[in-house]
Amino acid sequence: MTPTDPAARAAELRATLNEANHRYHVLDRPTISDREYDLAFRELNELEAAHPELVTDDSPTQRVGAPTEGGFPSVRHEVPMLSLGNAFGADELREFDTRVRRGLGRGLDDPPVTYVCELKIDGLAISLRYEGRRFVRVATRGDGTTGEDVTANLRTVRAIPLSLHEDPPGDRLEVRGEVYMPRGAFASLNEQLEKEGRPLYANARNTTAGTVRQKDPKVTASRRLSVWTYQLVGAHGLSTHSESLALLESLGFPVNPHVRRVEGIEAVIDFTTEWADARKDLDYETDGIVIKVDALEEQQQLGFVSRAPRWATAYKFPAEQVTTKLEAIEVYVGRTGAMTPVAHVTPVSVGGTTVRNATLHNIDEIRRKDLRVGDTVVLQRAGDVIPEVVSAVLDARDGSETIWEMPAACPVCGTQALREEPEVVTRCPNPYCPAQRIGGLLHFSGRGGLDIDGLGFKIMMQLVERELVKEPADIFRLDAEALEGLDRLARKSADNLAQAINNARHRPLSHILNGLGIRHVGEQTAIDLAAWLATELSTTEGETDADWTRRVADRLRDASVEELTGVYGIGLVVAEGIVRFFGDAHTRDTLHRLIEAGVSAEAPAPGARNRAEGPLSGKTLVVTGTLPGLSRSEAEDAIRAAGGHAASSVSAKTDYLVAGDKAGSKLSRAEQLGVLVLDEDAFRKLIEEKT
């Protein structure tokens, strides 16, 4: 080949540009100027246009692909992407170390455990797949088991190597990491939006998640995302986690430089102290420190509890508090009619997020904290927790502040509000309240329900306002022509949404039941109810799914409280809620009308409970209040993963109540019935001791 041979020149340019990308975006040590890079990129682009056969997957010109058609395909992770337990403060880190040492059979006089400390990046977890040296796919974490294929979009992120620097160990490589938006890129994006007179984004993390799921990869490319990788899946002949990080670096992956291998938990605590303030000088958001046992053999020995490894934990930095002005309190009405007071505050940055609204929970909390409109208040946000008003600054009062009262009527429909003892929530009892209708329809079409991709709040609001949708069945009577008439919905988008609606006509029975929005019936109760119906009404030869679903609807409409309380996992309060739903003239035929609109259910296997076997098998637990280290859904997932039943209400059948702050009426009910109450630490220990 001669120096002017197109194939040789294209290969030379690809190598130059890929090396420049690595040095600029990964090593932060550029070796060529932007102009030199642009000229080389243009030459390669022209060469490939003239000789299409020279285009390769790892060419820098291929980082931006074609727009995504429809939704993102699902990807099942061969190795689940686990969540981590949390530690708050030095004492909890020492407790983690004690559990690790006990699990490894080490006494106080034995050598300390070797840990690796890494900054916890506040972004979106991803899994990268390589075959040989070639990048082939990237997926989001999703629910830990199944994520979304976002390859076309993340191919645009220049920190991700399209071709590895050397041969990897094995034919296939999977690498876990975090995609994030640098602070500088986030600030530039908001500056541009402000110039255009468009709404600003609140925080970098949510903006990253939205950017990753853009339909057009060119939009993703313009947002300047980056990546840190932190885990090599599989041992690959290595003995420590720190060795795997070194291997990732040598292969060309970006590995955060602020990683430290330390001996013993006190050195870990020193690391967390060091970064409590230093993290504010970084060009990316961090919300804690991840601590991992370094030896892979010891990781294997320690194993897992629920969906989290015993050999790792996430230390969360203390909640950041700021002061701002409580400008107004407005009541929001949810799908169940719950009227929730929300504080509107003078915008303030806290925990990396610009906060304009904060939860006030209920009128009792407002009274307990003595909050008044016009107060200077302390605002707090920790991790993913919704911002909340902690207290009023009493010394700042000047007499202009006013006491707020819960309105006597629903602010949306004007119906007289009700508060039933012992509940702390005030509700709008009108089932036709527009706010309840919007909330109920979004619950029905969302995840956990029929999961209709693309049917969000703005579109649903238009559908309800134009009276195209009044109840769930109306969704399935929409077509592309009707959808195209909505604001900002072009024909292609209308076709995609119509297809998504059509795809949702056949869903598991538990999803349909959960989507109906029956009071007190959540995800787990819907699973239990579906399992009972599958056993009660086994399918017959030649029976269609629609026919079987119709028999299910008939059975539910006729079910009594006594029958339902005999179903595993269903107590009196839940049973009464189900009977009330299928006895009410407004809702009794909801399921029948869905069947008429073409919806049918996938039946679970008769007798199946869709529940894992584990240390909590046969136990019923209820989670209430705010737990410091777990969201309610995460706690309930942990219960189910351990074989237990996560119920929504306390009854005589409840074995444990897991109670956090502001536990309310469920705690009182548990104490009346003599149910054992656990805080988060006791809950974690219960699972650990039983495994």
pLDDT at residue 516 in the model: 94
| Residue 412 is assigned to a structural domain of this protein | no
- 102-125, pLDDT tens digit by residue? 999 998 889 999 999 999 998 999
- Distances from the Cα of 351 to the Cαs of 83, 87, 415, in angstroms? 21, 18, 38
603 falls in which pLDDT band (50, 70, 90)? low
Query: Rounded to 10 degrees, what is the CA torsion of 50, 54, 57, 59?
Result: -70
| Residue 488 is assigned to a structural domain of this protein | yes
- 628-653, pLDDT tens digit by residue? 767 777 787 778 777 787 877 788 88
| Whether pLDDT at 210 is above 70 | yes
Catalytic-labelled residue, pool 120, 215, 292, 369: 120
Q: Are residues 308 and 289 in the same domain?
A: yes
Round the average pLDDT of the chain to a whole number and report it: 86
| Residue 272 is assigned to a structural domain of this protein | yes
| Whether pLDDT at 670 is above 80 | yes
pLDDT at residue 10 in the model: 83
| Whether pLDDT at 457 is above 80 | yes
Q: Are residues 58 and 121 in the same domain?
A: no
Residue 450: partners with Cβ closer than 8 Å, 6 or more residues away: 444, 504, 507, 511, 512, 515, 599
Task: State how far the Cα of 649 lies from the Cα of 669, in Å rounded to an integer.
Answer: 9
Q: Are residues 130 and 204 in the same domain?
A: yes
- Stronger pLDDT, 318 or 455, i.e. the higher one: 455
Active site residue 120: yes
What DSSP designation does 154 have? H
Indicate the pairing of strand 620-624 with strand 506-508. Answer: unpaired
- Stronger pLDDT, 478 or 214, i.e. the higher one: 478
Mean pLDDT of 68-94: 82
Query: Rounded to 10 degrees, what is the CA torsion of 285, 289, 295, 300?
Result: -90
| Whether pLDDT at 490 is above 90 | no
| Whether pLDDT at 251 is above 70 | yes
- 337-372, pLDDT tens digit by residue? 899 999 999 998 876 678 888 888 889 989 999 999
Q: Are residues 304 and 358 in the same domain?
A: no
- 376-403, pLDDT tens digit by residue? 999 987 554 568 898 999 999 999 999 9
Query: Could you tell me the CATH number of the domain that includes residue 468?
Result: 1.10.150.20
| Residue 684 is assigned to a structural domain of this protein | yes
DSSP three-state, residue 234: coil
pLDDT at residue 604 in the model: 59
- Residue 510 CB: number of other CB atoms within 10 A? 24
Task: State how far the Cα of 512 lies from the Cα of 549, in Å rounded to an integer.
Answer: 10
- Distances from the Cα of 296 to the Cαs of 116, 317, 392, 517, 590, in angstroms? 12, 27, 49, 46, 54
Query: Could you tell me the CATH number of the domain that includes residue 237?
Result: 3.30.470.30
Indicate the angle between helix axes 545-558 and 523-536, nearest 10 degrees: 110
Identify the weakest region by mean pLDDT among 298-302, 304-308, 370-374. 304-308
| Whether pLDDT at 229 is above 60 | yes
Looking at 246, 281, 315, the residue that finishes a domain is 315
Cβ burial 568-599 (10 Å sphere, 16+ → b, else e): ebbbebbbebbbebbeeeebebbbbebbeeeb
Retrieve residue 271's tokens. 């690391």
Mean pLDDT of 14-27: 74
Q: Are residues 378 and 342 in the same domain?
A: yes
Q: How many domains does the chain have?
A: 6
- Which residue, among 506, 524, 499, has the nearest Cα to 514 in the 3D structure? 524
Task: State how far the Cα of 662 lies from the Cα of 626, in Å rounded to an integer.
Answer: 7
- Stronger pLDDT, 582 or 318, i.e. the higher one: 582
**Phi, psi dihedrals of residue 418, rounded to the nearest 5°:** -130, 145
Query: Could you tell me the CATH number of the domain that includes residue 35?
Result: 1.10.287.610
Retrieve residue 493's tokens. 């988008």
- Stronger pLDDT, 646 or 301, i.e. the higher one: 301
- 393-445, pLDDT tens digit by residue? 999 999 999 999 999 999 999 999 998 777 788 999 887 788 888 999 999 99
| Residue 414 is assigned to a structural domain of this protein | no
Identify the weakest region by mean pLDDT among 251-260, 660-669, 670-679. 660-669
Query: Rounded to 10 degrees, what is the CA torsion of 152, 154, 157, 158?
Result: -70
Q: Is 642 left (phi over 0), alpha (psi -120 to 50) or beta?
A: alpha
**Phi, psi dihedrals of residue 323, rounded to the nearest 5°:** -110, 150
| Whether pLDDT at 25 is above 70 | no
Residue 647 pairs in a beta bridge with 622
Q: Are residues 583 and 624 in the same domain?
A: no
Residue 349 pairs in a beta bridge with 354
pLDDT at residue 331 in the model: 94
Task: State how far the Cα of 64 lies from the Cα of 691, in Å rounded to an integer.
Answer: 47
| Whether pLDDT at 609 is above 50 | no
Q: Are residues 116 and 144 in the same domain?
A: yes
Percent of the chain with pLDDT over 90: 46
Q: How many helices (H) and strands (E) does the chain have?
A: 25, 27
Quick check: 581 and 518 in contact, CB under 8 A? yes
Residue 434: partners with Cβ closer than 8 Å, 6 or more residues away: 412, 413, 464
Q: Which residue has tokens 């904290």?
A: 369
| Residue 38 is assigned to a structural domain of this protein | yes
**Phi, psi dihedrals of residue 124, rounded to the nearest 5°:** -125, 125
Retrieve residue 50's tokens. 């003239």
Task: State how far the Cα of 538 lies from the Cα of 341, in Å rounded to an integer.
Answer: 46
Q: Are residues 454 and 514 in the same domain?
A: no
Task: State how far the Cα of 453 lies from the Cα of 459, in Å rounded to an integer.
Answer: 12
| Residue 411 is assigned to a structural domain of this protein | no
73 falls in which pLDDT band (50, 70, 90)? confident
Peptide bond before residue 508 is cis, with ω within 30 degrees of 0: no
pLDDT at residue 185 in the model: 92
Looking at 474, 504, 534, the residue that finishes a domain is 504
260 falls in which pLDDT band (50, 70, 90)? very high
Q: Are residues 244 and 301 in the same domain?
A: yes
Structural domain span for residue 51: 6-62
Q: Are residues 459 and 591 in the same domain?
A: no
Task: State how far the Cα of 252 lies from the Cα of 167, in Å rounded to an integer.
Answer: 11
Residue 418 pairs in a beta bridge with 427
pLDDT at residue 691 in the model: 45
Q: Are residues 105 and 173 in the same domain?
A: yes
Looking at 442, 474, 504, the residue that finishes a domain is 504
2 falls in which pLDDT band (50, 70, 90)? very low
Query: Could you tell me the CATH number of the domain that includes residue 638?
Result: 3.40.50.10190
542 falls in which pLDDT band (50, 70, 90)? confident
pLDDT at residue 115 in the model: 97
DSSP three-state, residue 340: strand
| Residue 427 is assigned to a structural domain of this protein | no
Query: Rounded to 10 degrees, what is the CA torsion of 281, 286, 287, 290?
Result: -120
Task: State how far the Cα of 521 lies from the Cα of 590, in Å rounded to an integer.
Answer: 15
Q: Are residues 104 and 168 in the same domain?
A: yes
Query: Could you tell me the CATH number of the domain that includes residue 337?
Result: 2.40.50.140
pLDDT at residue 334 in the model: 87
28 falls in which pLDDT band (50, 70, 90)? low
Mean pLDDT of 238-255: 96
Say which amino acid occupies 435: A
